[in-house]
Structure 1
Amino acid sequence: MARTIAKDHDQKRAHILKVAAKVFAAEGFDRASMTVLAKACGISKANIYHYYSGKDALLFDVLDSYLRALRDRVCGLELAELAPETQLRALLREILLAYQGADDEHRVQSSGIARLPEAEQQVLRGYQRDMVAVMKRVVAANAPELFAEDAARLHETTMSIFGMLNWYYMWQSAADQAARLRYADVVADLVLNGITGTAGNTGTAGGGKP
């Protein structure tokens, strides 16, 4: 007879994933044994093995759950009816809001993907490529004459935007929603107008220091 799934299975799994992301981010993947992870989760070692066969499986699920949800949120934005600049601002805001509360997963992503088997890496990188494709379309729509025949410039601009977004947590980890929305507009102004375009944006991103 197949083992029945406990009613709180999904809730416990979500708890394990959140705690594991925190442990992986703080301790590093190599030092985070299943024993350490189980203790941090407040469950027995046997219990954590009920959910995951080992650290690699747990790492993949942390990243798969995070990146899949992020991809679905970003790629699910209804942008087609918006003006190009409005599309860009809406996309930047959505990404920064989606990052809120996920600093640990974000840290783990930067070093964790390469530790996984190639097939699993491809799944995760597929989510990333989907989000990059959305950003490229929006960026290109804002300057079609510039990017129409310069794919390299479009890629470089797109990845530079992600660079500005992805490292925000390093110097503004406590940023609330309002700060994130302000910073999204700073990035949009930089992209659309260059550094002089930030002159009219007098708000600070949550009071952070440079």
Structure 2
Amino acid sequence: MARTRAEDFEEKQHQLLLTASHVFARQGMDKASMSQIAAQAGVSKSLLYHYYPSRDALIFAIIHTHLDELDRRLDAAMDPALGPREQLEAFVLAVLESYRGADDRHTVQLNAGAALTEDQRSRIRTIERRIVRRFSAVIRDMHPELDRPERPLLMPVTMSLFGMMNWVYMWFREDGPISRADYASVATTLILEGIKGVR
């Protein structure tokens, strides 16, 4: 008879992901072990394997869950009533809010590529590309000239914006002089004003 799921299965699963993210981020992808994660989470190793059958499955779950949450936030931030600039800023803010409290998961995402199988990397890339397309579509609406075959700048510009967002966790402080909403405006302005100089 198959083992039934406990009512709090998803909550425990989420907590294990957070703990594992912390251990991976602090110990490094190569050094962190399932034993260390189980000990840090206060569970048995066998229980950890009940939720995640392998170390690779755990790493994949951390990244996939993190990106899926981000993608859903962006979907919620989509508003047809907004102009393109306001929509882009809303997307930037959605990313920055998604990163709130997610520094460990973000670190795992940036450093765990080698730990994933090709199938797992492919599934992660599918979500990443969907996320990137949301931004590039809005930027293209404002500046279609960036998508000209003779000088294709749409993707470099879009990824430059992601570069600004993805490294926020290295310097941003919740009690600092700038809020996430303020920085969303700054990043959006830097990209849109910068486009004028490169197009």
SS in 1 for 2:126: helix
Q: CA RMSD in A?
A: 1.8
Could you tell me which residue of structure 2 aligns to residue 126 of structure 1?
126
- Tell me, yes or no, if the aligned pair for 1:114 and 1:121 is still in contact at 8 Å: no
Alignment of 1:51-200 (within 5 A): 51-144=51-144, 146-150=145-149, 152-174=152-174, 179-194=179-194
Identity %: 38
What TM-score, normalized by structure 1, do the two folds share?
A: 0.86
- Tell me, yes or no, if the aligned pair for 1:164 and 1:187 is still in contact at 8 Å: yes
- Tell me which amino acid in the other structure corresponds to 2:7: K
- Tell me, yes or no, if the aligned pair for 1:74 and 1:94 is still in contact at 8 Å: yes
Give, in angstroms, the shift of residue 185 of structure 1: 0.5
- Tell me, yes or no, if the aligned pair for 2:29 and 2:111 is still in contact at 8 Å: no
Alignment of 1:28-43 (within 5 A): 28-43=28-43
**How many Å separate the matches in 2 of 1:129 and 1:47?**
34
Q: How many residues align?
A: 193
Say whether residues 1:8 and 2:12 are aligned partners.
Answer: no
What TM-score, normalized by structure 2, do the two folds share?
A: 0.90
Give CA deviations for 1:110-152 in whole Å, capped at 9, x if unaligned.
Answer: 11133211011010111110011010011111222x2242572
- Tell me which amino acid in the other structure corresponds to 2:141: A
Give CA deviations for 1:90-121 in whole Å, capped at 9, x if unaligned.
Answer: 11111111111111111100111332110110
- Tell me which amino acid in the other structure corresponds to 1:149: R
- Tell me, yes or no, if the aligned pair for 2:147 and 2:153 is still in contact at 8 Å: no
**How many Å separate the matches in 2 of 1:82 and 1:8?**
39
Unaligned runs of 5+ in 2: none
Task: Say which is worse superposed, 59-68 or 79-88, in terms of deviation.
Answer: 79-88
Unaligned runs of 5+ in 1: 196-210
